[in-house]
């Protein structure tokens, strides 16, 4: 009956006392954190599947190389949601050890991914090649391993500090006998990573290229600023506020609220925008047909339009002068029919037909003042230049003068 009297409202008789905070309706903070953490774990799993499913459809190489970073970041974020349950249940050796070890390790993994992504964005906004998937993964692994070593050493030293307690009934609580200030001091490396994330994101915003990368850096900067506020609030409350106001009973809610709040900030500001941008088209790079050649093509067309009328008029005048010289017989100099060639394409030289001239009123029936000679010179074999005058004189003496007439 005593156990029934101590059983909180909302918990069944089969629930162990260590899990009372998960169902105690009188202490609503445990139920609320449990619901938020469960929803976060489910959403993290869905986003992880969507992230991997979008890899084959990602056209941007730089975004595809960052998928591994986002996957590690999402796994660490899901770990933060899971660690919240260790702060809700009652303290024992397992829960206290997991809090002290995984709290810094999981946050170090998240901030290391954000830092490496900030370094990649700094290279992209300055027109350089970003580190590849392998280099980014190795960098995150090194940054994360530093915090793993720090927490492992700290946990071993603090647990082995009181070896005499291992034989009594309080041995299971040895890992919980750590001052709140010592717990916060063990996270200095994580705080240094957070400050480095802010510096890297500010460096991206100072770049001059690729606005889409600046938008991503702005989200990282916003996430870093919100994280700084959350960390400042929970450390102040955990180290000083709880001892003044609520006592040790507020330690677990403080850590649980900090974990859930940070994890949801990571999902909303980092993971969800990244998943939405994976299939984004490359709108910053110029296309081959639209941005490279259209202006040159238009300029060349304008040149043809400007030059073709002038060449047509010049060719008509040359044909007329050549025909008049042959008919009048005043010039004895042989003129090549290709002397007016200027290197222009034949397609832009207009050569009117007799029907076109008649339809425009320039045919042979019109007055000589408005008519044009439409003789088209044709290539023919001619004697050498030195014998041209003798051949022409002999033909005139014999009465064999000839006139070139147009052939249609």
* pLDDT of 346 strictly over 80: no
Q: Which of 117-131, 166-180, 185-199, 226-240 has the lowest mean pLDDT?
A: 166-180
Cβ(374)–Cβ(404) under 8 Å?
no
The full DSSP string for 176-214 is G---HHHHHHTTHHHHHHHHHHHHHHHHHHT--S-HHHH
Give 33's contacts (C-beta < 8 A, 6+ positions apart): 84, 87, 88, 253, 256, 257, 260
Question: Which of 184, 183, 157, 158 has its CA nearest to residue 173?
Answer: 158
d(CA 315, CA 351): 9
Looking from the CA of 53 toward its CB, the CA atoms found within 13 Å total 7
Q: Which helix (H) or strand (E) holds 36?
A: helix 28-53
DSSP code at position 348: G
Q: What does the domain layout of the chain look like in residue ranges?
A: 2-285, 292-397
CB of 408 within 8 A of CB of 376?
no
232 Cβ neighbours under 8 A, 6+ residues apart? none
Greatest alpha-carbon span in the chain: 151
Confidence of residue 13 (pLDDT cuts 50, 70, 90): confident
pLDDT tens across 84-110, in order? 999 898 888 888 888 889 999 999 999
- From the list 233, 108, 235, the residue with the least C-alpha distance to 183 is 235
CA distances from 161 to 24, 155, 168, 184, 235 (A): 35, 10, 15, 19, 25
pTM of the entire predicted model: 0.66
**Tokens linked to 328:** 């009048």
Class in CATH terms, 2-285: mainly alpha
User: Mean pLDDT lowest for which of 56-65, 104-113, 328-337, 345-354?
Assistant: 328-337
């Amino acid at each position: 009956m005593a156990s029934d009297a101590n059983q909180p409202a909302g918990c069944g008789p089969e629930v162990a006392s260590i899990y009372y905070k998960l169902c105690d309706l009188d202490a609503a903070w445990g139920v609320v954190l449990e619901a938020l953490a469960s929803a976060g774990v489910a959403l993290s799993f869905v986003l992880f599947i969507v992230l991997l499913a979008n890899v084959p459809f990602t056209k941007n190489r730089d975004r595809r190389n960052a998928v591994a970073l986002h996957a590690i970041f999402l796994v660490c974020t899901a770990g933060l949601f899971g660690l919240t349950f260790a702060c809700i249940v009652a303290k024992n050796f397992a829960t206290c050890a997991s809090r002290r070890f995984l709290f810094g390790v999981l946050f170090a993994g998240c901030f290391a991914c954000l830092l490496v992504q900030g370094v990649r964005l700094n290279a992209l906004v300055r027109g350089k090649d970003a580190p590849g998937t392998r280099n980014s993964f190795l960098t995150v692994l090194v940054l994360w391993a530093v915090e793993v070593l720090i927490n492992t050493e700290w946990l071993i030293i603090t647990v082995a500090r009181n070896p005499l307690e291992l034989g009594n009934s309080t041995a299971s609580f040895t890992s919980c006998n750590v001052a709140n200030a010592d717990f916060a001091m063990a996270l200095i490396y994580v705080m240094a990573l957070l400050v480095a994330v802010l510096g890297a994101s500010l460096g991206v915003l100072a770049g001059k290229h690729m606005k889409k990368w600046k938008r991503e850096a702005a989200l990282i900067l916003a996430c870093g600023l919100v994280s700084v506020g959350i960390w400042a609030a929970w450390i102040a409350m955990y180290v000083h506020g709880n001892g003044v106001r609520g006592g040790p009973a507020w330690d677990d809610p403080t850590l649980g609220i900090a974990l859930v709040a940070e994890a949801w900030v990571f999902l909303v500001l980092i993971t969800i925008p990244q998943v939405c941008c994976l299939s984004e088209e490359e709108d910053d790079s110029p296309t081959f047909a639209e941005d490279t050649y259209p202006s040159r093509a238009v300029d060349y067309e304008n040149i043809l339009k400007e030059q073709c009328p002038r060449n047509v008029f010049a060719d008509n005048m040359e044909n007329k002068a050549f025909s008049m010289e042959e008919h009048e017989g005043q010039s004895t100099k042989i003129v090549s029919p290709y002397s007016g060639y200027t290197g222009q394409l034949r397609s832009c030289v207009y050569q009117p037909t007799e029907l076109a001239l008649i339809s425009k009123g320039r045919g042979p029936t019109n007055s000589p003042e408005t008519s044009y000679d439409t003789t088209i010179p044709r290539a023919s074999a001619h004697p050498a230049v030195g014998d041209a005058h003798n051949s022409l004189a002999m033909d005139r003496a014999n009465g064999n003068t000839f006139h070139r007439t147009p052939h249609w």
